[in-house]
Structure 1
Amino acid sequence: MMEQRIGIIDIGSNSVRLVIYERTASGAHRVIDGSKRPVRLSERITEDGSLSEEAVTELLDTLRHFGLICAHHQTGHIRAVATAAVRNAANRDQVLSRIQAESGLVIELLSGKDEAEYGFIGMINAMDVKDGYLIDIGGGSTELSLFQDRKLVHSISFPFGCVSLNRRFAAKGMVSDESMRALESLVSSSLSSVSWLRDLPGLPLIGVGGTVRSLGKISQAVTKYPFTQTHNYPITGDAVDQLFDQLRKLPLDKRRKFPGLSKDRTDLIVPGLAVLRVIYKAIHASHYKICGAGLRDGLFYTTRFPDRPKLSDVLSYSLQNLSALHPEAPKQHVSQVNRLGLQLFDFLHPLRQDKLPPRARVWLDTASTLFRIGASIDYYEYSKHSFYLITNSRLNGLSHREILIIGAIASYKSKNRVRQLLADYKELLNETDYQVIYELGILLHLAIALDRSETQAIGRLSMEEEGKQLHLLPVRSHGSLAVERREVEALSEDFYKLWSVSPVLAQTDYT
């Protein structure tokens, strides 16, 4: 197992984080442990620009602690990196030498360009987006990038972050009007010489890192957003402005109680959002979007797949990975249901006058691949558990609404059951979404019925529509289809209500 586990340690300017990734026996990747310690290195700089002795000692204690966690998990490879606070310290060489001598870790010192590139890999492997700006507001630096057609085009690192700006412009966590004007002026003047920032207005500003993740949690808490993931969560510019004004006015003791805001960011959130807003307006972005992946994910991908760290198909990789995390699902049966489901869709969809949404086939493809993963918890209630796992796992490349739709299709039993499952999320869906769920859900049920014996008896299937009947003709099959025929017949009436045709499995078994 040792060679199958990778530990990533990120020595940031605000906190030090550990993430341990595991490659399972079925080939899936997952996080099996993680830890975070706030260190505020950017605040612990002496007058000569060095990291203080106390800060280095505390950092070493954290790294030794992380080393024990990695040893407990028999982590075969540990990759440790440091960013702005160590990079800019006058005594960085002595700090790095001491860390290696006392902890055994060799620390990679990342440049601002490195940070931007790793952050981009982490983001682009987690989101289905072609063009946009990417921002990472750290404790001691801010990385900003432009990407087009899923390729990094420009990037720049600015020598300020939420911790260093808080130290410079805040008094006891509060930023006065005058200090705020000075902070915004500093950021604006830094942007003025970067010509490419004004090249492509109207693109989303995608954020990675702690500041933007905190923004997502705050926004969701304030609006009582029903879906718990912040990854791929969109926020308008006006909404961020309102939150910024609310937070800025609150004294620290009241800000600590603000919904969704963690205590270790009480004083950092205002300068962090100030930077974010200035850049958002400078690039004339269309909206914000939160990304749950970032630097550490980029480091993982470049470590695990050094030759080709960037994924070509985000959803396909994510789907395969989630399936592999639940190997209890019978692979051949799931593959057969997926194949038959898509074949049924391709035949029936062109016959409809009211066309399904453009992404409907993607939703059915995903749902028919994941419908049995709930059996890893309990076979008898697998549809319920599949819905939970789908909506609480990271399915990259999909919006929150799409994840809910897919989860409901995969666990479909009846219209009433769908309404019950989605009761807490109804504000994210509309009536058209429910109708699509019903239609694709019953289509998936028909595909399951066609392999009810789980023997893949139907090798090839031909279809003909005749009047109000959909004739299903096994062109090549082996064994009896009696079980499948009975299941199709039982489903016929419900299928007709949604698709206006009754499926009939041919009486003659072909061999």
Structure 2
Amino acid sequence: MEQRIGIIDIGSNSIRLVVYERTAAGAHRVIDGSKRSARLSEQIDDTGSLPDHKINELIEMINHFRLICAHHRTGLIRAVATAAIRNATNRQQILERVEAESGLSIELLSGQEEAGFGFLGMINSMDIDSGFLIDIGGGSTEVSLFMNRKLIQSVSFPFGCVSITRQFAQRGMLENGGLQALEQMIHLAAASEQWLKNSPGLPLVGVGGTVRSLAKIHQASIKYSFDSFHNYPISRAAVDELFEELRSQTLDKRRKVAGLSKDRLDIIVPGMAILRTFSTILRASNYLICGSGLRDGLFFATRFPERPQLDDPLMFSVTNLAALHPEAPKQHVSQVNRIALQLFDALEPQYPSPERARLLIDTASTLFRIGASIDYYDYSKHTFYLMINSNIHGLSHRETLLCAAIASYKGKNRVRGQVAAYRPMLDEADLQLIARLGILLQLAIALDRSETQAIGRLAAEPLNGKLHLHAIRADGVLAIERKEVDAMAEDFKKIWGLAPVLTLPDYR
């Protein structure tokens, strides 16, 4: 199995490289990436061809990316091209020249294949059952319907933010007449796809540069405290407001808009116009921004060709993050995870928790020790940082924050200081939940403090103001575990109203 895979995506707006690595512990991570603005759709001449000088530039960029891959000893490079080359009348000449002068064979993706890889990248990084997916590229727009995590139908339209800008927006300024003509053109194109109108009320998940920029701009405008745009929800009303605000601005004024990159100043408004028009056609409930897409889908299809779609993105993501920090003793972490879930299940009937609370304690008790990869001392602080700054796919931003606080819990007062910067995302009930699940995790850690998995079987029962912990099968006297449980009993009782008591099996 190749340890490193390079993915080159020759898009209509930009050309991107991502290098993925499989670590010795079996984790996958991105170790390098590069992006070059190309605007290939903009360069097509009157005959529909890509001129020779642009082909030369393309070959130069691909050779540059090949050098980066060679530097990383990348075993496999997969290069794909999308709409700009797909729609060029001289596409065969482009592909032959690129292969001859770079040594790389380029896969020319059909619109359906592009939509399929985009769906795979999205569905492997989000906990969502049904919705529409839209990928607004430079020269094409793919719209897909998925139900119960299965791709039902997709269509690729031969227009994107670059080609639309060229057609309807002079120097990036989309006037009323241009906007009306653009919307009319999209409605006409969508009319032949009746299925687009048959599933109203679903979320519209967006991938690609336009929606990523939209998320960054929106987050900057509301001073959003969580530094991630993946799995970020935005209402249709908020997008409409932002669209009109940006549309009224000159390009010079847009340069000062926080979150908007300079290479999108002219194409952001036409791109958002495409997004809004499809949202109206689909009668979508709201937008969800996805940070994964075509390149991620290509990675999964290349690395796991037999079963590229994940059954459980959260489990894969958590397992992968744990494997990226293998310093944590595996058997100890597994024991703590098992005990934490057992304690949660024992308490749940009498002390019910909110929905998905079990998922939070499961995730937190798997990742609580990853901070030791930075420094063992005060590893909980590093665990919090790593979890907040890693994409834990399948969790919302709020749930990621809750999990990180639970995993690094060291007392109620410390939690308030730790989450102070994110306070608008949490309410008092959330802080109470962090304390309850955090101290529960600390009890599970105490029950394997010797890190020897001495407790083979445990029975937990809340009764008469105590949490009775019976070690049914145990090796030795559990002296360390008993002392740890006794030391934290008072703190546990303050939060749960129960004093934990550990008793040993009677071998007489």
Q: TM-score category by the smaller chain?
A: over 0.9
Hey, what's the Cα distance between the residues in 2 that align with 1:32 and 1:85?
Answer: 28
1:474–1:510 Cα contact (<8 Å) kept: no
Contact kept in structure 1, 2:172 and 2:270, CA below 8 Å? no
- Separation (CA, whole Å) in 2 of partners of 1:360 and 1:179: 50
TM-score (norm 2): 0.99
Task: Write out aligned runs for 1:119-198 (5 A).
Answer: 119-198=118-197
Matched residue type, 1:478: D
Question: Equivalent residue of 2:31, what SS?
Answer: strand
Tell me, in whole angstroms, the C-alpha distance in 2 between the residues paired with 1:486 and 1:125: 44
Match status 1:398 vs 2:395: yes
1:271 and 1:469 map into 2 onto residues whose CA distance is 63
Look up the match of 1:411: 408
* Unmatched tracts of structure 1, length 5 or more: none
Moved more, 359-368 or 476-485: 476-485
**How do 1:80-99 residues align onto structure 2 when only pairs under 5 Å count?**
80-99=79-98
Q: Distance in 1 between matches of 2:17 and 2:309?
A: 22
| Amino acid across the alignment from 2:396 | S
Cα distance in 1, alignment partners of residues 170 and 282 from structure 2: 30
SS in 1 for 2:457: strand
Is the CA contact 2:472–2:505 (under 8 Å) kept in the aligned structure 1?
no
CA distance in structure 2 between the aligned counterparts of 1:373 and 1:159, rounded to whole angstroms: 46
- Pairing 1:233-382 to 2, within 5 Å after superposition: 233-352=232-351, 355-382=352-379
Could you tell me which amino acid in structure 2 is paired with residue 26 of structure 1? A
Q: How far off is 1:466 after superposition?
A: 3.5
1:187-215 CA distance string (max 9 Å, x none): 11111121101111000000011111111
Instruction: Show the counterpart of 1:494.
Output: 491
Question: Take 2:212 and 2:218, find their aligned partners in 1: how far apart are those partners?
Answer: 10
Deviations 1:156-203 (A, max 9, x none): 000100000111112122122111111111111111121101111000
Unpaired runs of at least 5, structure 2: none
CA RMSD of aligned residues (A): 1.1
Q: Identity percentage over the alignment? A: 64
Greater Cα offset, 266-275 or 191-200: 191-200
In the TM superposition, residue 469 of structure 1 has moved relative to its aligned partner by: 1.6
1:463: how far off?
2.4
Give the deviation of 1:510 after TM superposition.
5.6
Looking at structure 1, the residues matched to 501 and 172 of structure 2 have their Cα atoms a distance apart, in angstroms, of 70
Q: How many angstroms apart in 2 are the aligned matches of 1:183 and 1:470?
A: 66
After TM superposition, give the deviation of residue 52 of structure 1 in Å: 1.2
Q: CA deviation at 1:138?
A: 0.3
Check the 8 A contact 1:475/1:510 in 2, yes or no: no
The reply on whether 1:446 has 2:430 as its aligned counterpart is no
Structure 1, 493-502 or 460-469: larger mean CA deviation: 460-469
Q: What is the distance in 2 between the residues matched to 1:171 and 1:55?
A: 22
Please list every run of at least 4 consecutive aligned residues from structure 1 whose deviation after the TM superposition is greater than 4 angstroms: 507-511
> TM-score, normalising length from structure 1?
0.98
1:509 Cα deviation from its structure 2 partner: 7.0
1:144-163 CA distance string (max 9 Å, x none): 00000100011000010000
For 1:499 and 1:182, the matched residues in 2 are separated by 62
Distance 2:165 2:355 in 1: 47
Paired residues, number = 508
Residue deviations 1:448-487, cap 9 Å, x none?
0001010111000112333112221111111231111010
Deviations 1:263-319 (A, max 9, x none): 000000010000000000111100000001000000000000111000011111111
Between the aligned partners of 2:432 and 2:367, the Cα distance in structure 1 is 20
The answer to whether the 8 A contact 1:135-1:208 is kept is: yes
Give the residue type in structure 2 aligned to 1:84: A
Contact persistence 1:463–1:472 (CA under 8 A): yes
